[in-house]
């Protein structure tokens, strides 16, 4: 009788543990499904990059951790892919599993079809909007035959330079006219500071 009761408890305990493990795995899979847009954003940024476009790179996500898989021809390209993935909003960490094959000859830009102006404008907007260090909501983009013009205002010089660098890095961009200006402090703040100084 005691043995039978003990056996029932053991079976129940194993069932609960198994169900918990199954639930955890199911929750993990749902969590990764929630990060599917992040995976897509990283994959697009890599595919649109001027130097990485010739390579077939794969992206996997586990939560907000991104894994890069594929082959590039130089260490600089591997580091570039790592940096691009890190800079996408929502990425917490990057596991770089890219291998380097110096004999690999990328197809080069000339063999790839350049995107049209409308497509390029959308790509630049997404690249700027998805970057952790750029406040892109006040930046206007205009593309004419691959020549890109940037207008608007950002809080500091770092963002101004970075916005131009990101746009220039995309495949299909022929030139950049970066006329983004620095946002001026409001007049109210200036007057308030002056009045405080007088006091």
Q: What is the CATH number of the domain that holds 78?
A: 3.30.1340.30
Verify that 93 and 124 share a domain, yes or no. Answer: no
Taking the model in full, what pTM does it have?
0.71
The backbone region for 152, taken as left when phi is positive above 0, alpha when psi lies in -120 to 50, beta otherwise, is left
Contact 45, 127 (CB under 8 A): yes
Range of the domain at 53: 34-100
Q: Is residue 50 included in any domain, yes or no?
A: yes
9 in any annotated domain:
no
pLDDT single digits (tens) 146-161: 999 999 999 999 999 9
Torsional sign, CA 91, 128, 119, 51: negative
Segment 36-55 mean pLDDT = 95
Number of domains in the chain: 2
């Amino acid at each position: 009788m005691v043995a039978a009761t003990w056996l029932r408890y053991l079976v129940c305990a194993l069932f609960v543990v198994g169900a918990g493990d199954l639930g955890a795995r199911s929750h993990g899979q749902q969590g990764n499904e929630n990060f599917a847009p992040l995976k897509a954003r990283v994959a697009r940024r890599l595919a649109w990059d001027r130097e990485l476009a010739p390579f077939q790179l794969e992206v996997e996500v586990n939560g907000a951790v991104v894994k890069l898989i594929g082959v590039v021809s130089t260490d600089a390209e591997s580091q570039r892919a790592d940096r691009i993935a890190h800079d996408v909003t929502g990425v917490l960490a990057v596991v770089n599993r890219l291998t380097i094959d110096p004999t690999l000859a990328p197809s080069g830009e000339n063999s790839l079809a350049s995107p049209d102006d409308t497509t390029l404008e959308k790509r630049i907007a997404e690249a700027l909007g998805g970057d952790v260090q750029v406040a892109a909501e006040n930046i206007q983009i205009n593309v004419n035959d691959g020549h890109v013009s940037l207008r608007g205002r950002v809080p500091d010089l770092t963002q101004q330079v970075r916005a131009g660098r990101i746009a220039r890095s995309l495949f299909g961009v022929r030139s950049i006219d970066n006329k983004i200006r620095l946002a001026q402090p409001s007049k109210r703040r200036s007057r308030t500071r002056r009045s405080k100084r007088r006091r």
